[in-house]
Chain A
Amino acid sequence: MDFAGQQSLLAPLVKTPEVVVPAGIAPAYWEKLVPKDNPGTQAQVALGKRLYFDPKLSKDGTVACATCHDVSRGFGDGRNTSEGIGDQVGRRNAPIVLNTAFFSSQFWDGRAATLEEQAKLPIVNPIEMGQPNGAAAVAAIAKDATYQKQFQSAYGRAPNYDDMGRAIAAFERTLVFLNAPFDRFLSGDPKAISPAAKGGWMLFNGKARCNSCHQLNSSSPLGTDNRFHNIGVSARHQDFEKLARSALTSLEKDSSAAAIDKLALETDLSELGRFVVTRNRSDIGAFKTPQVRNVGISGPYMHDGSLQTLWDVVDHYNKGGETNTYLDGGIEPLALSEAEVDQLVAFLFALTDDRLSAQNTREQKRQATLAKKQRPFRDTKRANREVLPFEAAKGGK
């Protein structure tokens, strides 16, 4: 038998998919992590990469995944909330796509269980990429001969919407950025991070209580508990009760994934966070704990991008968040001094992967300058419990 014939016999006997396993991740763990039907072969990753940067997927050909998850901006967009087709602005801040393979749910409110599901929703969201449905997105690229070939070799089928999601997810899973100065410090190099950052690491696990939700250790490398917490970010300007009631009314009519996606991005109901998914009172205003990895380059912060610097973030926690009925039980005033706030921020900037260190340094300088000018969320009286949250809430009643 000729060699080609032999090889075609061999193929089904010994399956060796060229799965791309990111450096530093144990193959056995990776196998558990990725879905069986989307192992992330070279072909799948290549297809996903092309789709990620292809604005043809959007209704007017102007927006790609990379528009809001811009490689030059730490795979985010540096905006408070993101802009889609036709200059429309949504209600949510674009999270960075780095390390998202390790999350147990996607989106700020966890409304998608997998990267595959996540990748498909923005394409058909009216204000993000605006396609009327998945078929329209497929039609936009289906005539392209290279795409046809790529889909064939990646999934053995003609272009279709589900495989589009799979391919984008396969590409995103290769974006593992877990190699920061902090990791070198943990593995025994005392000079890897500054003394201020070391102090910040102590505070992170101690007085500042960050590790209540951002568990950061070898078995939880992202620094997230994958849960949802109300820390009061939008409590300043929202009437949660009224919002929740109107959310229930509209979800009773339609609670499909697409409907939830629209609520989250287009209306004030965005502020309800996880509640829109579970309709459970205790999830009102709760959002997913984001990773602390690469946090230096992922500003502005929080689900609505309302905090501009990491100093603002620490100030927010320091005063015990914003008081509201659903405030998570672990949030309380921390009484951090100015020096301690600076140490914490120094530590947070030590969590950015070495490959992005130039961006990180630029951003650190920019934020430091901004923080010297404005610290709108600093409230020393509340941080030091001179004014208690409940007294502030009741107006001294």
Chain B
Amino acid sequence: MPKRKQERPQLLGVKSVETRYLEDRQQLYTALKSLDRRSFMKVSAAALGATAGLSAPHGFQPISVAHAQTKQGKAQKFNFAYISDSHLYERKLNDRFVNQLMRAVDDVNALDPQPDFVFYGGDLAQLGQPKELELGAQILKTIKAPLKVMVGEHDWYFDMGEKWRELFGEPTYSFDHKGVHFVVLNSVVEKDFWTKRKLTPMERMRTVAGLDNGVQSSFTVGDAQREWLKKDLAKLPVTQPIVVFSHSPLYKLYKPWNFWTDDAEQVQAILKRFKSVVVFHGHTHQLLTNRIGNIHFHGLLSTAWPWPYAPEGMPELTVQMGRPDPFNPHDGLGDGLVTMHPDGMADMVYNLWNRNPVTISKKYMATNGKQAKPAKPKLRSY
């Protein structure tokens, strides 16, 4: 039997000369868009050489033009922290979750050096009540670093986002930071199940807050947001590092618990052309890791309660945390820190409150779990 020719393995973290050349060229083109005449004269020679394939690779790196920086800028390493899924109730009903959110805020405020920003992953409130959301906003105000927030279904379905918009603005937006393009989605859009059934806002909210009820439809990002996303990403080169925040996981894990986004494939298709995409999602309240082609998915920890793992469809990359201790209401909860690397890959740190921190490194993701495997927990999964 003839031996098949082995493909040369892609060396991790080492870019080939060709790759670097193409990336530089791409950067130059983006830079050209915002050049004034004088700077243009400076780079044009190099650029012409590059397009003709004449100049040596890396030929135009030294030329930096002061305002040739697009808003994407040059990618560089940075950290952001995250907090998610606090499910606050009114003070009369439950103050435990309030204490837990405050603990998370203390955690990120104690980080030294401070993260560039803190991301909140949704489900700030339990039943979308204005009082719950106000309480949450008040606590989040005490975060020292800049704050970015995303909406979850528990925040939305009482008044269809009215209070949310008043407190935090539009739920769908994008921003750029140190060379990474961030997109924040409202991924919990549901089909109207309430009008026909004549449900009150509270009944609607309670239905959505429940799982497994067969009444509500699955979460979607929806046509409108997908169109917006296409437009938002249209002008970006394939080398642009992309981070997407969605409340529900942007893949299909387990429908009965809504660990699921119904149009996940269509959203993935929009993201497919980019070299490196990282999706961070809330909603699942557990260590959860997945990779579909170029897209890496990381679930965020909750500060309220941990969910058990889905009985089927678990992604293989996930390092499942052991069953939380029923005697310790903080077990299986926490917050965390993400380090973004210039190549658009992320190291994800789960800062668990009752256990040792777990790091899901970019190396682990890039090697499909073959290297840099986090230690297996002693406790059995649940």
Q: Which residues of A contact B (CB under 8 A)?
A: 212-213, 225, 241, 245, 278, 280-282, 323, 325-330, 332, 385, 388-391, 393, 397
Contacts and interface: CB of A to CB of B under 8 A. Distances in A.
B353 interface: yes
B110 to A, nearest CB: 5
Contacts of B327: 212-213, 225, 330
Nearest to B91: A388
Contacts of A212: 327-328
A210 to B, nearest CB: 11
A390 B351 contact: no
A325 B142 CA distance: 14
A325 B106 contact: yes
B356 interface: yes
B98 interface: yes
Contacts of A330: 327-330
A327 B328 contact: no
B357 interface: yes
B100 interface: yes
B352 interface: yes
Given A390-B98, A391-B91, 16 more contacts: A212-B327, A225-B327, A241-B110, A245-B112, A280-B357, A281-B107, A325-B102, A325-B107, A328-B328, A328-B330, A329-B96, A329-B328, A329-B329, A329-B330, A390-B99, A397-B138
B190 interface: no
B103 interface: yes
B354 interface: yes
Nearest to A244: B110
B369 to A, nearest CB: 25
Q: Which 9 A-B pairs have the closest CB atoms?
A: A329-B330, A329-B329, A325-B106, A212-B327, A388-B95, A282-B353, A390-B98, A329-B328, A241-B110
Given A245-B112, A282-B354, A325-B103, A389 B328 contact: no
17 contacts: A225-B327, A278-B356, A280-B356, A282-B351, A282-B352, A282-B353, A282-B354, A282-B355, A323-B99, A329-B328, A330-B327, A330-B330, A388-B98, A389-B95, A390-B98, A390-B102, A391-B91
Nearest to B106: A325
A6 B264 CA distance: 84
Nearest to A282: B353
A225 B91 CA distance: 31
A390 B357 CA distance: 26
A354 B41 CA distance: 96
Nearest to B100: A329
Nearest to B138: A397
Interface of B: 91, 95-96, 98-100, 102-103, 106-107, 110, 112, 138, 327-331, 333, 351-357
A225 B102 CA distance: 27
A329 B331 contact: yes
A280 B331 CA distance: 15
A201 B99 CA distance: 29
Nearest to B331: A329
A277 to B, nearest CB: 13
A391 B329 CA distance: 20
A282 B95 CA distance: 21
Nearest to A213: B327
A390 B102 CA distance: 8
A390 B353 contact: no
B273 to A, nearest CB: 40
A323 B103 CA distance: 10
Contacts of B355: 282
A325 B103 CA distance: 5
A369 B327 CA distance: 35
Nearest to A326: B103
Contacts of A213: 327
Which of A327, A328, A388, A390: most chain B Cβ within 10 A? A390
A302 to B, nearest CB: 20
A329 B353 contact: yes
A274 B76 CA distance: 36
Nearest to A333: B95
A329 B95 CA distance: 12
A389 B99 contact: yes
A1 to B, nearest CB: 55
B96 A332 contact: yes
B208 to A, nearest CB: 27
Nearest to A225: B327
B91 to A, nearest CB: 6
A53 B211 CA distance: 65
A323 B96 CA distance: 12
Which of A225, A281, A282, A393: most chain B Cβ within 10 A? A282
B321 to A, nearest CB: 14
A390 B95 contact: yes
Contacts of B98: 388, 390
B97 to A, nearest CB: 10
Given A212-B328, A393-B102, A329 B354 contact: yes
Contact of B99 (A245, A327, A385): A327
Nearest to B102: A390
A393 B352 CA distance: 23
A334 to B, nearest CB: 13
Which of A281, A329, A389, A391: most chain B Cβ within 10 A? A329
A344 B351 CA distance: 36
B25 to A, nearest CB: 45
A82 B70 CA distance: 65
A282 B110 CA distance: 13
A385 B107 CA distance: 25
Nearest to B92: A385
Nearest to B356: A280
A49 to B, nearest CB: 38
A349 to B, nearest CB: 25
A241 B108 CA distance: 12
